[in-house]
A and B are shown apart, each in its own frame.
Chain A
Amino acid sequence: MSATARRSARKYPASAPYLFIAPFFVLFVPFGAGSVLLALGISFLDWPLGQPPEFAGFDKFATVLDDPLFGKAMGNTLYMLVGFLLALLPLCLFVAVLLKQLRRRTANLVQVVIFAPITMSLIAVALVFDLLYNERVGFVNNVLDLVGVGPVPFLTDADLAPWSIIALRIWRVLGYYAVILYAGLQSIPDEYYEAAQLDGAGAWQRFRHVTFPLLKPVTLFVLVASSIAAWELFAEVQVLTDGGPARSTLTAVMYIFGASFEQFDLGKGAAASVLLAAAIIVSTAVASRLLRSDDRA
């Protein structure tokens, strides 16, 4: 074969990509996609506990959209999501860049420490934060008391509780996302920085023109992963505040959980899930669009 012929032909066997993706899909089709489609199907059903399901069209969607609690739950979730992301993203970028500047040995140690919180079981997290947040014997309130502030009702005040949850979540995942970003930073060749330094670029300029653009794929991943996690906030809230006080921390997934497993209305729960999924898809699309359009600028 001549060189030109080889170039015009495909460089690899046509089956290659399918062979690569096949093992993943062997798992994904039944356990991932299959469940998603079933869930989607359930949202169109009226399926009382233990009885055969009946087709209900969009009835369940109407029920959910009519329910003021669903609006409240979505609103709370969005509110906490925005607060969470606005604090998390700059913080974990900052920590990742900082890690990169440390000696590798120090960086490794710091990484393990900041990463440790996510390995802690949620029940234990709840206990520790309960001990820290407690109005009487909480460490934080006792420190605040020394400077004459408080006691601050971290979890029992409707305005403060969402922020106390956000703080806990940031503590829990900051190191995790920072380490993922840091791993991404490791793939950026040092030469780029050396070149930028030779050009006289300052720390911010190096971040702006070298780190950020080259880190974009990983940043996008962190943004998508953390925002999906924020949309699906559930366990922390359930353990610490149970959605209260006065429903100030009632989240969308709590609503879904309640509909499915407390009111036994699986159709309603699935319909709410589909609506939440739509919100997640839209916001993820917007987020990736934002990061991409930035690329062109």
Chain B
Amino acid sequence: MRKRVAGREVTRSGRKHKPIAQRLGRGAVVGLIVVVAAFPLYWLLISSLKPSTRLGEVALIPSSVTFENYIAAFDTQIPRWLLNTFGIALLTTLLGVSVAALAGFGFARYRFRGRSVLFGMVLASLAIPEYALVLPQFTIMRQFGLLNTWAAVILPLAANALVLFLLRQYFSQLPEELFDAARLDGSGEFRLFWTVAVPLVRPGLGAAGLLLFLNAWNAYLLPLVMLTNSDQFTMPIGLAFLHSQLNFGIVETSPWGAITAGTVISIVPLILCLLVMQRQFIGSLTAGAVKA
């Protein structure tokens, strides 16, 4: 704690010497980035608050505000879909980070027979687009009798080669001396992993968790093929389902209201989660952790 405060003071005093113009310039750039990133989100928000007849309104502030879209969203299966999406994404993240952290550590810290072939296989699997993999995955899931279960979505998504790659990168940055020292103290290999390595790569675990979570959160094809009942749908499929009614011209009322409101409803808890996760993974990291 003390150290962190001291560290911050060093940088802050460093900042003091910078010319004010430079700080203003930086502020302006940050402001611009935030505005550009946030603008479509803002547009989504105000679109969700507009009556469906005013969706095409160009004004920055809507001329009338209504919650009818949110009421419409709760009339659909959106709450259920949201729950499914969260459940699947969370379980995928927990499982995916666990197995990838273990394996990432294994690949980064040990030399063993078959290491490069196995890792190369994992990497090469990334190159095949998921559209080519659906049919085989469907066949395999059927063999396992897992169709129409969350597992059919979670298991393939949790075995994420990209996340393994990312975590291996993080683990390989750690200096070997750390481990030698711990080994001299008589620590077992799993203890090394858990007490020495994991705390040092927490930002990496956070990034990996985000990657897995978002991958599951946005997954479309896999849940589409594996889950067939509309009360099992995840948000992306559910929204696509609402949208597709429109495309066929059979829809009675425009689904855009439910889609925009549903998206806002789904983003808000996610952003809150992000804020929490940040404190957990990124925020708590002390700057000098890796220097030892």
Q: Is B21 an interface residue (CB 8 A)?
A: no
Q: Is B199 an interface residue (CB 8 A)?
A: no
Q: Is B2 an interface residue (CB 8 A)?
A: no
Are A266 and B26 in touch, CB under 8 angstroms? no
Please judge, given known A-B contacts A16-B189, A218-B169, whether A179 and B271 are in contact too, CB under 8 Å: no
Instruction: Give chain A residues whose Cβ lies under 8 Å from the Cβ of B126.
Output: 224, 228, 280
Please judge, given known A-B contacts A129-B40, A190-B287, A191-B288, whether A256 and B271 are in contact too, CB under 8 Å: no
Are A119 and B155 in touch, CB under 8 angstroms? no
Kindly state the separation between the CA atoms of A45 and B76 in the bound complex, as whole angstroms.
Answer: 43
Most buried by B among A131, A136, A235: A131
Most buried by A among B8, B128, B140, B211: B128
Are B128 and A189 in touch, CB under 8 angstroms? no
Q: Is A56 an interface residue (CB 8 A)?
A: no
Instruction: Give chain A residues whose Cβ lies under 8 Å from the Cβ of B158.
Output: 27
Are A128 and B239 in touch, CB under 8 angstroms? no
Kindly state the separation between the CA atoms of A187 and B292 in the bound complex, as whole angstroms.
Answer: 12
Are B112 and A17 in touch, CB under 8 angstroms? yes
Within 8 A of A (CB), among B109-151: 109-110, 112, 115, 118, 121-133, 135-137, 139-140, 144
Residue A273 contacts which of B109, B129, B139 (CB distance < 8 angstroms)? B129
Quote the shortest CB–CB distance from B188 to chain A (angstroms). Answer: 9
Instruction: Give chain A residues whose Cβ lies under 8 Å from the Cβ of B271.
Output: 112, 116, 119
Are B267 and A28 in touch, CB under 8 angstroms? no
**Number of B positions contacting A (CB below 8 A):** 110
Are A36 and B100 in touch, CB under 8 angstroms? no
Kindly state the separation between the CA atoms of A129 and B260 in the bound complex, as whole angstroms.
Answer: 12
Residue A27 contacts which of B107, B159, B172 (CB distance < 8 angstroms)? B159
Are B288 and A31 in touch, CB under 8 angstroms? no
Q: Is B275 an interface residue (CB 8 A)?
A: yes
Within 8 A of B (CB), among A181-200: 182-184, 186-191, 194, 197
Give A254's nearest chain B residue, CB to CB.
B131
Please judge, given known A-B contacts A119-B271, A121-B263, whether A194 and B98 are in contact too, CB under 8 Å: no
Q: Is A24 an interface residue (CB 8 A)?
A: yes
Are B161 and A171 in touch, CB under 8 angstroms? no
Q: Is B47 an interface residue (CB 8 A)?
A: yes
Are B41 and A127 in touch, CB under 8 angstroms? no
Give A30's nearest chain B residue, CB to CB.
B140
Residues of A within 8 A of B (CB): 11-14, 16-21, 23-28, 30-36, 38-39, 42, 95, 98, 101-104, 106, 108, 110-125, 127-129, 131-132, 134, 136-139, 142, 171, 174-176, 179-180, 182-184, 186-191, 194, 197, 217-218, 220-221, 224-225, 228, 231-232, 234-235, 252-253, 256-257, 260, 266, 269-270, 273-274, 276-278, 280-281, 284
Given pairs A20-B103, A187-B285, 12 additional interface contacts (CB within 8 A)? A20-B106, A24-B159, A39-B136, A42-B135, A98-B29, A112-B274, A114-B37, A134-B56, A188-B290, A228-B126, A260-B135, A269-B132
